[in-house]
Chains A and B, each alone.
Chain A
């Protein structure tokens, strides 16, 4: 009985402090329950497109990615395949563990960052521009090899600071509209914001084809759209803010299945 009371109190404290976080006070993070992918909040048209690889527009980028995987690039004359061989084997499950702290640089890196690190260091080629079709294509192709696998990031001493910074962004009100991510994606998923059904805000389908964009886009591009929505300053794609947020969101979606390359409205 007493135990139960304590748990309840803790829960109350957690939800209350999380939601009213005006300033960046330490917040106990929590996951929405039950955990649901954005596809469960999507309309029939979007679901049908994502389910069928033959009609999914996102598959065009996968096809391109597969080609790039096998193409030599840079001064090394090496392709991704030179080192990693068959992506279907070597890249299986890889994207589900990103973002990750890179052992060499000790910096938090997402899949796009990792691909560019291979480009510059191992292929001796110019890095690919964030949001370029090439980077989206390679990210989608590598991501596809984890499709159906559960998101699985581990928070440890190496990435705890990043995790906490991401968490603080998620729970802190921002922008002229003065809302935090939690207000929409923890408190109001399933409800309508004009004609959009709000989901729990997970990154499991990215990079994804968005009908609104009429093209493929990165996870960071999707995040920037929400910053824009609350009329906040837009952190650049690949910035520390978005990387830290990406890590927090990956923790929050732990166990959800990777859907890359997804389709969204």
Chain B
């Protein structure tokens, strides 16, 4: 990872306090995790990690649902087009652990309050969400664990 800039670390720290105090559990949605020290150590679903599958994860990554490649290049996926709004994911498996990736995917605003990356496992504090999507995270716990399994293969 590149050295964090001081602004980011400060904001990150402020959010951290809240995260530590509150954890996150949205009633009824099944969304639950604990983010601390920039990591989510526990898998989002135990059953999911046991069965996590990198190939399924690749498909999720390029799907319209997740659309990670809207912003991130990831040449390994073999897709034709990528956005360039975000750092390329190539080699991310060397830079981040599964726990760090999980935190980045679940709550990018923890790391950067101005992040443009969507929180893939968040259901609260959102505005004007399309009715059919309200209360639902962008990806399920299983899908996120599959994506992590895939990202770990990007060495």
Contact = CB atoms under 8 A, between A and B. Distances in A.
A232 B83 contact: no
Given A22-B125, A178-B118, 7 more contacts: A175-B129, A176-B133, A193-B70, A194-B70, A231-B129, A232-B127, A233-B131
Interface string A159-185: 000000000000011111111000110
Given A175-B126, A193-B71, A231-B133, A19 B114 contact: yes
B130 A232 contact: yes
A52 B105 CA distance: 46
B118 A177 contact: yes
Contact of B116 (A179, A194, A195, A233): A179
21 contacts: A173-B127, A174-B126, A174-B127, A175-B126, A175-B127, A175-B128, A175-B129, A176-B136, A176-B138, A177-B118, A178-B126, A184-B116, A188-B85, A192-B85, A193-B85, A194-B70, A227-B128, A231-B129, A231-B130, A232-B127, A233-B130
A178 B114 contact: no
Nearest to A195: B81
A20 interface: yes
A196 to B, nearest CB: 8
B118 A179 contact: yes
B113 interface: yes
A95 B44 CA distance: 53
B126 A176 contact: yes
Interface of A: 19-20, 22, 172-179, 183-184, 187-188, 191-195, 227, 231-234
B130 A187 contact: no
Given A179-B118, A183-B116, A194-B70, A234 B130 contact: yes
Interface of B: 67, 69-71, 81-85, 113-114, 116, 118-119, 122, 125-131, 133, 136, 138
Nearest to B138: A176
Contacts of B118: 176-179
Given A20-B113, A194-B70, A232 B82 contact: no
Contact of B82 (A179, A188, A194): A194
B128 A232 contact: yes
Given A175-B126, A176-B126, A232-B128, A192 B84 contact: yes
B113 A233 contact: no
A233 B69 CA distance: 24
Given A172-B127, A188-B116, A233-B129, A193 B83 contact: yes
A227 B127 CA distance: 12
Contact of A176 (B70, B81, B84, B130): B130
Contacts of A184: 116
A176 B129 contact: yes
B116 A174 contact: no
Given A20-B113, A176-B126, A183-B116, A191 B85 contact: yes
Contact of A191 (B83, B130, B136): B83
A179 B129 CA distance: 11
A221 B125 CA distance: 27
State the 3 A-B residue pairs at the shortest beta-carbon distance, nearest first: A195-B81, A174-B128, A232-B128
B116 A232 contact: no
B83 A194 contact: yes
Contacts of B126: 173-176, 178
Contacts of A193: 70-71, 83, 85
Contacts of A195: 81
Contact of A232 (B67, B70, B71, B129): B129
Contacts of A234: 130
Nearest to B108: A178
A190 to B, nearest CB: 10
B114 A20 contact: yes
Nearest to B80: A195
With most chain B CB atoms within 10 A of its CB, the pick from A176, A177, A227, A234 is A176
